[in-house]
Chain A
Amino acid sequence: GENVEQHPSTLSVQEGDSAVIKCTYSDSASNYFPWYKQELGKGPQLIIDIRSNVGEKKDQRIAVTLNKTAKHFSLHITETQPEDSAVYFCAASSPRSGYSTLTFGKGTMLLVSP
């Protein structure tokens, strides 16, 4: 099955700095790569996603890049703010028994200090 590795496990930055989280995946058939943000006591919420026919996608301060050859994808957050502090998960959607399932990385705790 699919295996998703995520680094780093924790990341501390100063407000206004950039943050980068990296993930690798193992299944070359994976075709959809979302990023989720989870705040304390809540369920994960999608912040950005990318499909395998696209190399980069941006949404205001957030961007995701995908390198299919190397099987890795990254989340970039610019001009970080204290409200960006949360746990971030990458994931990969891979086909399984005719239907796709989403496999998650182990998460990155991002702390943005004022």
Chain B
Amino acid sequence: NAGVTQTPKFQVLKTGQSMTLQCAQDMNHEYMSWYRQDPGMGLRLIHYSVGAGITDQGEVPNGYNVSRSTTEDFPLRLLSAAPSQTSVYFCASSSLTGKIDTGELFFGEGSRLTVL
């Protein structure tokens, strides 16, 4: 039972490069989200999706792009990486729709990104 799978686990980028963090879940969850975790800042929501074709911005969306073409996958794109995007990124999914509350979020193991 894989749950939420994130790739890559580690990545180093140069300023201005673009890349995609992959997230896949095998639990048939409609609700998926991306958070970034920085020291002393907790987890901050970047983007979320409540189903295929439906995405919305979170608290810190600038510099990131998402799309949701299937229920299973929710990739996060960095368009032009900046040192301020150095962080640990977590993808999470929920079995609930989000219309009442999010319910339990199931997290992946994280992707550590360094931008030089």
Contact = CB atoms under 8 A, between A and B. Distances in A.
A44 B98 CA distance: 19
Interface residues of B, number: 29
Contact of A89 (B43, B58, B108, B110): B43
A89 B58 CA distance: 18
A103 interface: yes
Query: Which of the listed residues A93, A96, A102 has the most CB atoms from chain B within 10 Å of its own CB?
Result: A102
The interface residues of chain B, by DSSP majority, are classed as loop
Interface stretch (A14-22, A59-67, A69-77, A104-112): A104-112
Contact of B58 (A41, A43, A101): A101
A81 interface: no
The interface residues of chain A, by DSSP majority, are classed as strand
B45 A45 contact: no
A34 B101 CA distance: 11
Given A99-B50, A99-B56, A106-B42, A44 B90 contact: yes
B107 A45 contact: yes
B48 interface: yes
Nearest to A32: B101
B40 interface: yes
Given A43-B108, A43-B110, A101-B33, A107 B102 contact: no
Contacts of A99: 48, 50, 56, 97-99
Query: Which of the listed residues A49, A104, A105 has the most CB atoms from chain B within 10 Å of its own CB?
Result: A104
Contacts of A105: 42
Contacts of A46: 104-105
A51 interface: yes
B41 interface: yes
B103 interface: yes
7 contacts: A31-B100, A43-B90, A89-B43, A100-B99, A101-B58, A104-B42, A105-B42
Interface of B: 4, 33, 35, 40-45, 48, 50, 56, 58-59, 90, 92, 97-105, 107-110
